[in-house]
Amino acid sequence: MNELVGRSLLKEADFTPTQWEGLIDLAACLKRDRREGREVQYLAGKTIALIFEKTSTRTRTAFEVAAYHQGAHVTVLDGSTSQMGHKESYADTAAVLGRFYDAIQFRGSLQADVETLAQWAGVPVYNGLTDDWHPTQTLADALTIKEHVAKPLSDVVNVYVGDARFNVGRSFLVSSAMLGMDVRIIAPTAYQPDDEALEIAEAFADETGARITITEDLGAVDGADSVSTDVWVSMGESKDVWNERVEALRPYQVNADLMAATGNESAIFMHCLPAFHDLNTTVGREVYEATGMDALEVTDEVFSSAQSVVFDQAENRMHTIKAVMVATLSEDL
């Protein structure tokens, strides 16, 4: 892991498959050490800036708790507590923060913005989410699969169902290819990953032996070890968009029939959260009023089932983020 010291994590493809799997293994070790009461604080005295242009639950708390466990200190900055992008450019902000902090996390819209921070900060920069990539999520996904699927990662059939056009679907495809998996994206043609993400994944597949399938056919769920999905709609989108999205994706809801179609009683269900599986959210109720659906991308029956490992997956955000920070900031491993 020492070869990662000083490195930024902006997208999965910034690392080799060996390095990517090494981060997953490191996260497993750090998680074990924490639970056994023998965690070493590799980051004592380090300072980390956490920048949030987009709101966050799991990413923010995962970084904060991971830093606390490791003896590091954090400062949280958002649109109301910094001038970045308003009165000060991303480059200038990076140049300043890089003199105060040992690392910077950024969660926002544009991939170009996190890349600018990395170019000018002089310290590791971590992508907590952009519109294009979500690498800290896919590390957590892989650790969760490693814990729950009794086979090597390279033998896993990893299936994503639903809207795969954006950060989660694109990162899912590339990370799975890096790990040599049988990766399958099941989505309507208009909701499949773009050519850029596919080309990156195919290049990794040539190296790792991964098998890539992108299809509209729900039959491709057969043999899945893990089934993942993501939200179909976001707060602020017009109801016209909701109706179009829901009509296109309705057949791709993860429900009991789809999980049964895997033919694998041990198949797990994963979701990066938040999930619209009931009416206990503002968006869930608004979508129900517009569409009549009481659940969207996943039914509550599946979400709350024994096959669902979504909260183990959420916890693993913290362990894998901790691994990223330790690997890039500590020379003592």
pLDDT digits (tens, 9 = 90+) for 214-237: 999 999 999 999 999 999 987 556
* Percent of the chain whose predicted confidence (pLDDT) is above 70: 98
Contact 109, 143 (CB under 8 A): no
Task: Find, among 215, 304, 214, 194, the residue nearest to 254 by Cα.
Answer: 304
If you average pLDDT over residues 286-296, what whole number do you get? 89
What are phi and psi for residue 32, nearest 5 degrees?
-60, -45
Whole-number pLDDT of residue 236: 58
Q: What is the pTM of this model?
A: 0.96
Which listed residue (272, 277, 313, 319) is catalytic?
A: 272
Nearest to 21 by CA among 125, 152, 160: 152
Residue 235's pLDDT is what? 56
d(CA 109, CA 125): 15
* 2-133+316-328 CATH fold: Rossmann fold (3.40.50)
Query: Could you report the per-residue pLDDT of 22-59, keeping only the tens digit for each?
Result: 999 999 999 999 999 999 999 999 999 999 999 899 99
Q: Comparing 2-133+316-328 with 151-265+268-306, is the CATH topology the same?
A: yes
**pLDDT, tens digit, for every residue of 121-153?**
999 999 999 999 999 999 999 999 999 999 999
DSSP annotation of 262 reads T
Residue 290's pLDDT is 82
pLDDT given at position 87: 72
Reply yes or no on whether 272 is catalytic. yes
Task: Please identify which of the residues 163, 230, 307, 319 carries the catalytic annotation.
Answer: 230
Residue 180: name the closest of 198, 162, 204 by CA. 204
- 268 band by pLDDT with thresholds 50, 70 and 90: very high
The mean per-residue pLDDT over the stretch 307-328 comes to 98
Domain residue ranges of the chain, discontinuous segments joined by +: 2-133+316-328, 151-265+268-306
Kindly state the DSSP code that residue 13 receives in the 8-state scheme: G
Band (pLDDT 50/70/90 cuts) for residue 16 is very high
Q: What confidence tens digit (pLDDT) does each residue in 159-178 have?
A: 999 999 999 999 999 999 99
Q: Is-catalytic flag, 319?
A: no
Q: CA–CA separation, 212 vs 290, rounded Å?
A: 36
Q: What is the rounded average pLDDT of the residues 195-221?
A: 98
What number does CATH give the domain 151-265+268-306? 3.40.50.1370
pLDDT at 75 over 60: yes
For residue 29, indicate whether it is catalytic: no
Higher pLDDT, 67 or 79: 67
Q: What was the pLDDT predicted at 304?
A: 98
Give phi and psi for 285, each to the nearest 5: -70, -40
pLDDT at 84 over 90: no
Residue 85 is predicted with a pLDDT of 67
pLDDT at position 2: 87
Choosing from 58, 70, 102, 107, the catalytic residue is 107
* 317 has catalytic annotation: yes
Mean pLDDT of 182-210: 98
165 tagged catalytic: no
What the block records as the tokens of 116 is 């600018």
Predicted pLDDT of residue 291: 84
Has 58 been annotated as catalytic? no
Average pLDDT, the chain: 95
Average pLDDT rounded to a whole number, residues 60-82:
93
CA 140 to chain centre: 7
Which residues touch 36 (CB under 8 Å, ≥6 apart)? none
Options 137, 253, 307, 313, the catalytic residue = 137
Tokens 């893990």 correspond to what residue?
226
Share of the chain above pLDDT 90, in %: 87
pLDDT at residue number 241 = 82
Q: Which residue is catalytic, options 58, 277, 317, 319?
A: 317
